[in-house]
Chain A
Amino acid sequence: MTRQSLLDLLSFGPDGWGTVLAWATLTTVLIALSGYAIGAVIGVVGAYAKVSGGRIARSLADAYTTVLRGIPDLLVIYLFYFGGSAVVTWVGRLMGAEGFVGFPGFLAGALAIGITSGAQQTEVLRGGFHAVAKGELEAAKACGMSRSLMARRIVAPLTLRHALPGLGNVWQVVLKESALVSVTGVVELMRQAQIGAGSTRLPFDFYLIAACIFLLISSISGFLFGRSEARLSRGVRRG
């Protein structure tokens, strides 16, 4: 076998891996985005519980963030993948199906990433809320805003402004965490690189390509987060 160069491997022709790698990249982005979105919902609920919940809601949210930030993401992915399969198999047996039913890896991965990043987003959003100046909230109350109007017009935009740098960091973590979903067999970037490495015996080239694509995605998203930070902070006076 003649040794292919990196560019030959990346070509979109019949011998190249360009097309499958592009699809795998899309899958990686989709897993990361779905996990991040799930985490955002959890983060909003968790931060709300921590900021203005009762004692029970607060301690539940505290327990959640402490536990989920203290255990490895890989373990959570295993929990959802194997646990999901166990639940689905059990439901299948109730419906009369025989044997083991697998849980979709994409869903397990997105849920696992959502749960772990939700803990981080809870903390980031809580910090963002506490950074909102008290006077702004008082002013809103003084204008006679209802709670929901105040949340929509004052609290949410200002919290987001302060939380955005932290949320950008969480996104970068989520993007890199999505590589772990490859253990469930979902053909995302990492899994595709493994497949390519196995069939061409060129592991270094394939993992290098995967690394470069990850670097590209994280650079682009870093740039986008920087742009939106500038946009959200356009009303802030620079010291």
Chain B
Amino acid sequence: MDFAFAYDTLLTLLPAVPLTLLLAFNAILFGAVLALGLALCRISGLAILDWPARAYIFAFRGTPLLVQLFLIYYGLGQFPAVRHSILWPILREPYWCAVIALTLNTAAYASEIIRGGLLSVPHGQIEAAKACGMSRLLMARRIVLPLAIRQALPGYGNEMITMVKATSLASIITLMEITGVAAKLISETYRVMEVFIVAGALYLAINFVLTRLLALVERWLNPDARRRAQHPIAAAEEVTA
């Protein structure tokens, strides 16, 4: 392996990292909002909310992200109504099309993870909150959401890592994020191995940092487990006392 060339490659690829991060961040952020809405529709028990959400999740989980991306980026432009609408300045941009496709895609997967988390909240906890006279909003904020998030976080973490990797598809619609720049470098230099290793290492580094952050959040959300790990004797005494 040619280290001088690998170093040059790294310098070429580094400026592409912010775009990858931005795509992933936006998709995860907007996706989480949409996913929460979908999960609430699914558990609402109202057929009129439940079935559209089911159909959405089925469609977006059953088709490749690439098809969704192409439908939005190339497909929507087919309709004059879309081309003449006020949304066209957004739907014309590959960046926003990528963000929209990634958001819609991750929302479908994440909503099932959130739904699992919400369903895992023990019934007794909800009853206890009601018995204390909590309003629905207070109960959601103090009891249901913290417990649900704690339960859903490991699964959600996997989905976030999937999203970081999925941003690479944006290169197919001309966005120059890490994979886009890497593919361009490969086709210019034909030095596949070096470029692949450097680009792969960048993705691994991003995902490594992400998993570390998620582990920190998980620790923060599980104060009881943290206490047990730090002061096993004190925690045990507290239980027996």
Measured CB to CB, the residues of A under 8 A from B are 66-67, 69-75, 78-79, 82-83, 86, 172, 175-180, 182-183, 190, 193-194, 197, 201-205, 207-208, 210-211, 214-215, 218-219
Cβ B179 vs Cβ A70 within 8 A: no
Q: Which residues of B contact A194 (CB under 8 A)?
A: 70
A44 to chain B, nearest CB (A): 23
Give 9 A-B pairs besides A71-B200, A82-B187, A172-B62 with Cβ atoms closer than 8 angstroms.
Answer: A70-B208, A75-B203, A179-B64, A183-B172, A204-B71, A205-B78, A207-B74, A210-B67, A219-B62
Question: What separation, in Å, do the CA atoms of A207 and B70 have in the docked complex?
Answer: 7
- Do A208 and B75 form a contact, CB below 8 Å, given A74-B179, A176-B63, A214-B64? yes
Q: Flag whether B34 is at the interface (Cβ < 8 A).
A: no
Q: List 11 A-B contacts (CB under 8 A).
A: A70-B207, A74-B169, A75-B200, A79-B196, A82-B190, A86-B190, A176-B64, A190-B66, A204-B78, A210-B67, A218-B62
- Do A86 and B192 form a contact, CB below 8 Å, given A190-B64, A197-B74, A203-B75? yes
0 or 1 for each of B45-68: is its CB under 8 Å from A? (1 = yes):
000000000000011011111111
Interface Cβ pair total, 8 Å cutoff: 116
0 or 1 for each of B146-187: is its CB under 8 Å from A? (1 = yes):
000000000000000100011111011000000100110011
Of B68, B165, B192, B208, which contacts A82 at CB under 8 A?
B192
Cβ B78 vs Cβ A203 within 8 A: yes
Question: What separation, in Å, do the CA atoms of A20 and B79 have in the docked complex?
Answer: 25
Cβ B65 vs Cβ A176 within 8 A: yes
Cβ B63 vs Cβ A214 within 8 A: yes
Q: Which residues of B contact A83 (CB under 8 A)?
A: 192-193, 196
- Do A207 and B67 form a contact, CB below 8 Å, given A70-B207, A71-B165, A74-B168? yes
Cβ A211 vs Cβ B183 within 8 A: no
Interface size on B, residues (CB 8 A): 41
Measured CB to CB, the residues of B under 8 A from A are 58-59, 61-68, 70-71, 74-79, 161, 165-169, 171-172, 179, 182-183, 186-187, 190, 192-193, 196, 199-200, 203-204, 207-208
Q: Which residues of A contact B62 (CB under 8 A)?
A: 172, 214-215, 218-219
Cβ B65 vs Cβ A203 within 8 A: no
B208 to chain A, nearest CB (A): 7
Residue of A nearest to B206 (CB): A70
Question: What separation, in Å, do the CA atoms of A176 and B59 have in the docked complex?
Answer: 12
